């Protein structure tokens, strides 16, 4: 058995046939913490000095090579050696250093691998420099070494987008030199031994072919357009595009840019979102609760939402039994689901075997009893209380007592639905966002009676569906729609007080929303909200300010883009300010004797943000939302709130 040398709490090594195999073991993702950097530094010094050592292999323990620099260290005083120090030692070593990528090599992890003299990857490896998703640029050589290996255009595309590349693409791009189908370490040791007779190939010494403006534009324009309002992607493009400079100059510029961005509000906001996503599924009291095993999902209602849920479920490997009311509806649902699978096949998201496998685990029926094998049934039928209660009562007769019933309702009270079933404790809400096979956000509604194991199962299924689960209590509209209603109300108050729809929309787009509220409203259609307002009219609190402008628009048949007119006019489909709407707004102001005033974009933005945050505070006080980060996740992932602003609760803090 080879003797293990310990260099730090997280870094140890064994010498095997003259090769020092250094392993980083820093759960959960082998982040390059101070202890990791210290251990690597010591291991490199040892390898340099040891006569019997001819080469070095660096690898990670577990399923990750290195998940990146330790984000939790950001904002704390730097501890020597820094990651660039360690990376410089790797590249300068007189003996070959080979990276054995046993899993994800991201951020600083890939930067460390790029400084190695050779890179071998297991098939499961993923590589990427996702720093821009944290509002920063790579800070340990990524913008300078990656283009030296794969060229400026390809490096710009990967770094400015922050996307992840799988092993095969990494090989074809030239990021890794070899894929190891069998034993990664044994293969790497063999390669290391072959490399001991040749001078190390130092990435930093490779030349970079400067890319012309047209190439840079082609590689970056779409990405920068999408990253509107964010600084990091543009800085990443600048650094990669100028990587033909001497390495030391480029590294200095990169490090200074990284440090400046790391301490920015934008980066703090994106780190907040990163950690909030991981906190959201940690629900107090569920730590030791076992979720139910779930393999078969029933989906009732195979319309737009139900078929989207079915596609997400099939992609996660669940067997799906779809139920609809009539043979025709069931067949239409089946065709809609298969059509979406075919789109995935055509786009390359699915290969033929994947398509066939997913299609083979899908059945549809009109017979309730066919849902008997289901472990969990999700209803996505017409959003009417009687319809849903009737369905759950029918299902009570055919499913097992432990089968979970989930309602996808957006606005109805799931407690009322649960109360009508035989086992309310096994009912919860799973509020998907449309299109359900695309949108990550999933509000997991904890009803009054929902049992802990049922909630734990809902969270586990949500994660398996690759959703971002956020637990909410029962309130009208749960977290997202309650906040949406609050800032829609604020926007309508602003209309009465003197602003116009396009001014409010411009303020929201200025802030970073992809679309203004009234433009979104017109796209979604005004009639559903109108119907809800009419239902609520009898019980509306007369002391509460109520704006009738939207009612006037609906009464005039202005139901949104589909009807050709809404908050805007749509001559030849183009959204246009409509003087008729302005006149309707002015008439409503006169009725209430309001003297209109103008509002700056900044003021509009602040009032809208304040309305969201105030409603968020109420949700926390009522125990509907467990933490501010949950609210931020819902607004960023379901309502277009710009992630680089961190969500309404972060932005107001």
In the complex, the residues that contact ligand T1G under the rule CB under 6 A are 28-29, 31, 64, 67-72, 83, 104, 106-108, 111, 130-131, 134, 138-140, 142, 275, 278
Shortest spacing between CB 134 and ligand T1G, in angstroms: 6
Q: Report how far apart, in Å, the C-alpha atoms of 229 and of each of 72, 171, 394, 511, 642 are.
A: 25, 33, 51, 8, 9
Neighbours of 557 (CB within 10 A): 10
Shortest spacing between CB 110 and ligand T1G, in angstroms: 8
HEC string for 352-415: HHHHHHHHHCEEEECCHHHHCCCCEEEECCCCCHHHHHHHHHHHHCCCCCCCEEEECCCCCCHH
Helix then strand then coil, in percent of the chain rounded to 5, is 50, 15, 35
Neighbours of 524 (CB within 10 A): 15
Shortest spacing between CB 276 and ligand T1G, in angstroms: 10
Cβ pair 3, 40 in contact under 8 A: no
Contacts of 181 (CB under 8 A, 6+ apart): 123
Using the minimum distance from each CB to ligand T1G, give the nearer residue, 28 or 199. 28
Q: Catalytic residue at 205?
A: no
Shortest spacing between CB 29 and ligand T1G, in angstroms: 4
Q: How far is CA 235 from the centre of its chain?
A: 22
Q: Catalytic residue at 617?
A: no
Name the nearest CA neighbour of 641 among 602, 599, 608, 617. 608
Cβ pair 378, 351 in contact under 8 A: no
Q: How far is CA 642 from the centre of its chain?
A: 12
Residue of 131, 157, 235, 266 marked catalytic: 131
In sequence order, what are the beta bridge partners of 247? Answer: none
Shortest spacing between CB 31 and ligand T1G, in angstroms: 4
Structural tokens at position 88: 């410089």
Shortest spacing between CB 572 and ligand T1G, in angstroms: 44
Using the minimum distance from each CB to ligand T1G, give the nearer residue, 71 or 454. 71
Q: Does residue 435 have a cis peptide bond before it, meaning omega lies within 30 degrees of 0?
A: yes
Shortest spacing between CB 501 and ligand T1G, in angstroms: 39
Contacts of 635 (CB under 8 A, 6+ apart): 480, 483, 612, 641, 647, 648
Neighbours of 338 (CB within 10 A): 18
Catalytic residues: 111, 131
């Amino acid at each position: 058995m080879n003797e293990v040398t310990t260099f730090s709490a997280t870094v140890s090594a064994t010498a095997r046939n003259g090769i020092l195999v250094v392993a980083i073991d820093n759960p959960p993702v082998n982040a390059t913490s101070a202890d990791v950097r210290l251990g690597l530094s010591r291991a490199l010094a040892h390898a340099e000095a040891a006569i019997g050592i001819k080469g070095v292999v660096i690898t990670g323990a577990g399923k990750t090579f290195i998940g990146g620099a330790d984000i939790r260290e950001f904002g704390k005083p730097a501890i020597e050696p820094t990651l660039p120090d360690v990376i410089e030692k790797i590249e300068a070593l007189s003996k070959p250093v080979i990276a054995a990528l046993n899993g994800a090599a991201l951020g600083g992890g890939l930067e460390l691998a790029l400084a190695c003299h050779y890179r071998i990857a297991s098939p499961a490896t993923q590589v990427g420099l996702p720093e821009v998703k944290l509002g920063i640029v790579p800070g340990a050589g990524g913008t300078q070494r990656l283009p030296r290996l794969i060229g400026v255009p390809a490096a710009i595309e990967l770094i400015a987008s922050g996307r992840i590349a799988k092993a095969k693409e990494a090989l074809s791009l030239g990021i890794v030199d070899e894929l190891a189908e069998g034993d990664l370490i044994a293969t790497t040791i063999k390669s290391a031994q072959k490399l001991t007779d040749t001078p190390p190939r130092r990435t930093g010494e490779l030349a970079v072919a400067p890319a012309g403006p047209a190439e840079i534009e082609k590689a970056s324009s779409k990405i920068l357009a999408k990253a509107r309002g964010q600084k990091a992607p543009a800085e990443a493009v600048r650094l990669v595009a100028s990587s033909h400079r001497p390495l030391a100059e480029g590294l200095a510029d990169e490090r200074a840019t990284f440090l400046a961005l790391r301490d920015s509000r934008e980066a703090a906001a994106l780190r907040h979102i990163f950690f909030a996503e991981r906190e959201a599924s940690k629900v107090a009291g569920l730590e030791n609760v076992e979720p139910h095993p779930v393999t078969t999902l029933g989906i009732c209602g195979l319309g737009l939402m139900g078929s989207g849920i079915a596609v997400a479920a099939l992609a996660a490997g669940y067997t799906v039994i779809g139920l609809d009311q009539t043979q025709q509806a069931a067949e239409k649902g089946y065709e809609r689901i298969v059509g979406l699978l075919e789109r995935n096949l055509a786009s390359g998201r699915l290969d033929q075997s994947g398509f066939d496998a997913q299609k083979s685990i899908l059945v549809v029926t009109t017979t309730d009893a066919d849902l008997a094998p289901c472990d969990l049934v999700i209803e996505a039928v017409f959003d009417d209380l009687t319809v849903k209660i009737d369905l759950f009562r029918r299902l009570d007769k055919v499913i097992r007592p432990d089968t979970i019933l989930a309602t996808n309702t957006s606005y109805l009270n799931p407690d009322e639905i649960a109360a009508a079933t035989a086992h309310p404790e096994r009912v919860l809400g799973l509020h998907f966002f449309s299109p359900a096979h695309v949108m990550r956000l999933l509000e997991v509604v904890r009803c009054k009676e929902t049992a802990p194991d049922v909630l734990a199962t809902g969270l586990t299924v949500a994660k398996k569906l690759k959703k971002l689960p956020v637990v909410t209590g029962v309130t009208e509209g749960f977290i997202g729609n309650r906040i949406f209603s609050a800032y829609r109300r604020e926007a309508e108050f602003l209309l009465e007080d003197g602003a116009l729809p396009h001014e409010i929309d411009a303020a929201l787009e200025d802030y970073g929303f992809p679309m203004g509220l009234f433009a979104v409203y017109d796209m979604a259609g005004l009639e559903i909200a109108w119907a809800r307002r009419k239902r609520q009219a009898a019980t509306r609190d007369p002391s509460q300010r109520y704006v009738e402008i939207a009612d006037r628009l609906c009464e005039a048949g202005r139901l949104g883009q589909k009807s050709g007119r809404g908050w805007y006019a749509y001559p030849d489909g183009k959204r246009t300010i409509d003087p008729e709407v302005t006149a309707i707004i002015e008439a409503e102001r006169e009725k209430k004797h309001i003297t209109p005033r103008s509002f700056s974009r900044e003021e509009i933005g602040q009032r809208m943000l304040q309305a969201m945050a105030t409603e968020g505070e109420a949700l926390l006080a009522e125990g509907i939302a467990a933490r501010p980060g949950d609210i931020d996740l819902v607004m960023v992932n379901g309502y277009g709130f710009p992630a680089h602003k961190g969500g309404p609760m972060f932005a107001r803090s």
